[in-house]
Amino acid sequence: MISPQYFFNLLHGHGFSFYAGVPDSLLKDFCAYVTDNTSSKNNIIAANEGNAIALAAGYHLATGRVGVVYLQNSGLGNCINPLTSLTDKEIYSLPLLLLIGWRGEAGKKDEPQHRKMGRITLPLLEVLEIPYAILPESEEEVKKEVQKAAEHLDNTKTPYAFVVREGTFDSYSLKTKQETHFPLIREEAIKLVASLLDKGDIIVSTTGKTSRELFEFRKAAGHGHHQDFLTVGSMGHSSSIALGIALQKPNQRVYCFDGDGALIMHMGVLSTIGKLRPANFNHIIFNNFAHDSVGGQPTAANAIDIPGIAKANGYKTFCSAENATEIREELLTIKQGKGPALLEIRCNKGARKDLGRPTQSPMENKNKFMEFIQR
């Protein structure tokens, strides 16, 4: 294993002092070290991975230096456009160092949404013509690889990638913690909202622990899972899925259970929702101000006004709640009024250690869900 401090100092020694990215559970220890040892201007948690590539491009244009972009391999899809049309050697030729967490590596047990991207991560880098190395686990070897990467970046002025296997970094716990003090955590809020909805209502839930907690709630309540589409991957796209359903099923209420990180990742959809104004579309944001599912790194949620953004985009109802009484009241208002509606529930990060994962496959989930909504 590599110590986060060793790798950080090694990169620093080669002049890397700017970071941008979207957090990943495999990189969380290294990113925590970066957070504790880098100013917030030089470690930017971006809305999505494509933004992070462009931020590093801007950093290079301004300074001539090379930035590091960290991401989970699932975020490679968000990067393909700027990697092919901005940083590529045939366009502007802008160097950056990618640090990619390798979920779904062949032979390792992982969730269904990671399998395909795990299998195609290295071929994808090859197609993109981005040279890479799998980050070695011995510090001596890492030193050689970083030297090689630095030479490539210096000589060719094009991107280079390190692919990071599970367990590569030693653990490191973040010192600069951001705590909130709301009455509820996400799971308590999810249980409350789900228990207040009706049998005919549809839920589309976002990736990460939100879908896992909703699944566990249904199991414990004996409800069955047919009402819920659990978006296990595709971070930031649950609201678009919910919108697609709401437009076709105007007589059924559709609820999107979203996270603040996911909302921010593809916030552009709010303008589409506001423009189309489906009266049956309801957006519930479980705002714990963090990427809780991958380590609790902060999102930009504490700098923005989520109900205000909904209002500006044309939602008809927009409100915020923090405790059970407020959640009940606001949900009643939403049910009695016309959408699109957005309810922000401010809650603390954190989850149960024994939180399970859906025991239904994505395909089973889809089939039962389609049967339910087309009934």
Q: Which residues bind ligand TPP (CB under 6 A)?
A: 22-24, 72, 74-75, 78, 186, 206-210, 233, 235, 259-262, 286, 288, 290-294, 299
Q: Measuring CA to CA, how many Å separate 356 from each of 23, 209, 215?
A: 22, 9, 9
In the chain, alpha helices (H)? 4-13, 28-37, 49-63, 76-85, 112-127, 139-156, 186-196, 209-221, 238-248, 260-265, 269-276, 306-312, 324-336, 362-373
CB of 337 to ligand TPP, least distance (A): 26
CB of 293 to ligand TPP, least distance (A): 3
CB of 183 to ligand TPP, least distance (A): 17
Q: Counting Cβ atoms within 10 Å, is residue 365 exposed (0-12), middle (13-18) or buried (19+)?
A: buried
Please identify the residue of the shown chain whose CB is closest to the bound ligand TPP. 259
Q: Decide whether 207 or 280 has the Cβ nearer to ligand TPP.
A: 207
Residue with tokens 């005919």: 200
Q: Decide whether 17 or 206 has the Cβ nearer to ligand TPP.
A: 206
CB of 188 to ligand TPP, least distance (A): 13
Q: Decide whether 304 or 373 has the Cβ nearer to ligand TPP.
A: 304
Q: What are phi and psi of 307, to 5 degrees?
A: -60, -35
Q: Decide whether 245 or 301 has the Cβ nearer to ligand TPP.
A: 301
Q: Decide whether 146 or 310 has the Cβ nearer to ligand TPP.
A: 310
CB of 77 to ligand TPP, least distance (A): 7
CB 278 within 8 A of CB 242: no
Q: Decide whether 47 or 130 has the Cβ nearer to ligand TPP.
A: 47
CB of 316 to ligand TPP, least distance (A): 24
Contacts of 187 (CB under 8 A, 6+ apart): 209, 213, 351, 352, 355
**Could you give the 3-state DSSP secondary structure of residue 97?**
strand
